Amino acid sequence: MNRLADKVAMITGAGRGIGAAIALAFAREGAAVVLAELDLDMAQQTAKQIENACAANGVSGARVRAVQTDVTLSASVQHAVGEAEHAFGKIDVLVNNAGINVFCDPLTMTDDDWRRCFAVDLDGVWNGCRAVLPGMVERRAGSIVNIASTHSFKIIPGCFPYPVAKHGVIGLTRALGIEYAPRNVRVNAIAPGYIETQLTLDWWNGQADPVAAKQATLDLQPMGRIGQPEEVAMTAVFLASDEAPFINASCITVDGGRSALYHD
Ligand code: NDP
């Protein structure tokens, strides 16, 4: 507890899944958290759950806000940052978590599929960084954590153009990490493998045989299971905290070793 005391964190796409787990973990560690989420109702429910979970764990008076945010629109992200700063005075930590799966065959993909993927998965990350960097640079302190993917360095046929955008997230992380290192702003990424969220359930359910699809995924895992959102959240706490002061422009993989495996 208190590894993030006195810090203010904004997490995009925090209404559910990995983002919600990160918001909860941050609040438990004493941070004020802002859930910047497309679906305001869901974000408000999650905010309430976080307050209740913190209270049940002896962290009273958790500071949690939900703000309707569309990461594809820079004005919307700027507005969320303004709301966060109005509520809590500053933003110390930004987690660019919002993301969508767009898995297509390259030559049958529509222009809209391409734009939709990049708008959320890459532009959304840049919109977040651009909105918080001026304040972080001015205060000479900040930590940005971008949720990338093992698709940032591995390719699965038929999953185009998601890995292209996620490769870009690593490029953005490295470029901004170097750009703002002299100002003591760290920019890092986390590359999750398969994590049990709605995104993954939707993907299994979209397959001809969802049960077989899930089993096929499990069969690929060195640890015999996929990850939980909380396991990504623990890494985000570390990168956001003062325990990682010399980790910058890096990416930590959280995939149970799957991406290290050459083949079965
Ligand atoms: P979920 O779909 O469960 O949650 C994503 C959240 O982001 C949803 O609440 C969604 O809201 C929100 N969101 C979507 N579009 C926008 C937007 N334009 N503006 C603001 N919020 C938005 O996904 P996960 O928790 O699984 O994924 C989180 C991140 O982790 C993503 O970047 C994903 O690519 C990455 N990742 C996930 C993996 C996994 O196995 N789950 C593996 C590797 C990476 P709404 O429901 O209203 O659309």
Q: What is the pLDDT of residue 8?
A: 98
Question: Which domains does the chain possess?
Answer: 8-197+228-255 (3.40.50.720)
Is the pLDDT at 58 greater than 90, yes or no? no
Q: Is 117 close to ligand 1, i.e. is its CB under 6 Å away?
A: no
* Nearest Cα residue to 236 out of 17, 18, 5: 18
249 pLDDT higher than 90: yes
For residue 86, count other CB atoms closer than 10 A to its CB: 9
pLDDT value for 55: 93
Torsion (CA) 121, 124, 129, 134 in degrees, nearest 10: 170
Pocket of ligand 1 contains residue 39 by CB under 6 Å: yes
Q: Is 251 left (phi over 0), alpha (psi -120 to 50) or beta?
A: beta
Ligand 1 centroid to Cα of residue 229, in Å, is 11
Look at residue 62 and tell me whether its pLDDT is greater than 90.
no
Question: Is the whole model's pTM more than 0.85, yes or no?
Answer: yes
| Residue from 10, 41, 100 to probe ligand 1 pocket by mutation (most atoms less than 8 Å from CB) | 100
Q: Is 180 a residue of the active site?
A: no
The closest-lying atom of ligand 1 relative to the alpha carbon of residue 202 is 2
Residue 109 has pLDDT above 90, yes or no: yes
Q: How far is CA 100 from CA 12, 114, 202, in A?
A: 12, 12, 11
Looking at the CA of residue 101, tell me the nearest atom of ligand 1: 34
> Which residue's CA lies nearest to atom 33 of ligand 1?
99
Which tokens hold the place of 262? 């050459």
**For the CA of 120, the nearest atom of ligand 1:** 18
Q: Could you report the per-residue pLDDT of 82-104, keeping only the tens digit for each?
A: 999 999 999 999 999 999 999 99
